[in-house]
Amino acid sequence: GESVGLHLPTLSVQEGDNSIINCAYSNSASDYFIWYKQESGKGPQFIIDIRSNMDKRQGQRVTVLLNKTVKHLSLQIAATQPGDSAVYFCAENIKTNNNDMRFGAGTRLTVKP
Amino acid sequence: ETGVTQTPRHLVMGMTNKKSLKCEQHLGHNAMYWYKQSAKKPLELMFVYNFKEQTENNSVPSRFSPECPNSSHLFLHLHTLQPEDSALYLCASSPRDNNEKLFFGSGTQLSVL
């Protein structure tokens, strides 16, 4: 799982397995969410986004699920590859500040060959 | 290559020094941002510029001074920093200043001695 401001959770998976990274967001009024991937030595890279009028959105090998009832967001990566090893952040548009996106602390995904 | 270039990649400075971080985006975006990334803390928004105008200053100390001469360039001027300012400083851009779908540079790793 993942919570803003806490220690960095880790997830270790075998190459080829599916990965699920979780995020608990804070504001029930948030209406836009993003997942970013940050590899070592690089800045965060946009992966996929979702608006609150949807509960699922799919990209290439990635799926984001949104459960507004419990304020939970997840990122599913299919057939995880070594290149997927990185820190993954969720971010929510908290709507209480001008255009401010609140980022989670991140989850470190390690893919074992 | 994200289209956002930051220099320098690494910077070590004393508390009495004055230095500047530079960011350039080649994406034709209208908004540019400075973020701070500290160890074990979520990304923190510092400044937002839209069409060269500052639209947000997220309670950042005055020892950090941003400058945006045009929509493609962003600077962060540093003076009399403290050791706790040591962090990765990330520049980002987006089509609009709504903090959505940010394109990040690789950051400047700053160490204040």
Q: Residue B53 has what pLDDT?
A: 80
Per-residue pLDDT of A42-84, as tens digits, reads 999 999 999 999 999 999 999 999 999 999 999 999 999 999 9
B105 vs A43, A99, A100: nearest CB: A43
Q: Band of the pLDDT at A29, cuts 50, 70, 90?
A: confident
Partner-chain contact A45 B2, CB within 8 Å? yes
Chain B residue set in contact with A, beta carbons under 8 Å: 2, 4, 40-43, 45, 48, 55-56, 58, 90, 92, 97-107
Q: Band of the pLDDT at A96, cuts 50, 70, 90?
A: low
CA torsion B44-B89-B86-A8 (nearest 10°) is: 50
**Average pLDDT, rounded, for chain A:** 88
Q: What is the pLDDT along chain B (113 residues), one digit of tens a residue?
A: 779 999 999 999 999 889 999 999 999 999 999 999 998 788 999 999 988 788 777 789 999 999 999 989 999 999 999 999 999 999 999 987 777 889 999 999 999 99
User: Are A89 and A103 contacting, i.e. CB atoms less than 8 angstroms apart?
Assistant: yes
Q: Residue B20 has what pLDDT?
A: 97
| pLDDT score of A3 more than 70 | no
Chain A environment of B31 (Cβ under 8 Å): none
Q: How many CB pairs under 8 A join A and B?
A: 60
- The DSSP annotation for chain B comes to --SEEEE-SEEEE-TT-EEEEEEEE-S--SEEEEEEE-TTS--EEEEEEETTEEEEE-S--TTEEEEEEETTEEEEEEES--GGG-EEEEEEEESSSS--S-EE---EEEEE-
Q: Residue A2 has what pLDDT?
A: 39
- Alpha carbon of B12: minimum distance to chain A alpha carbons (Å): 17
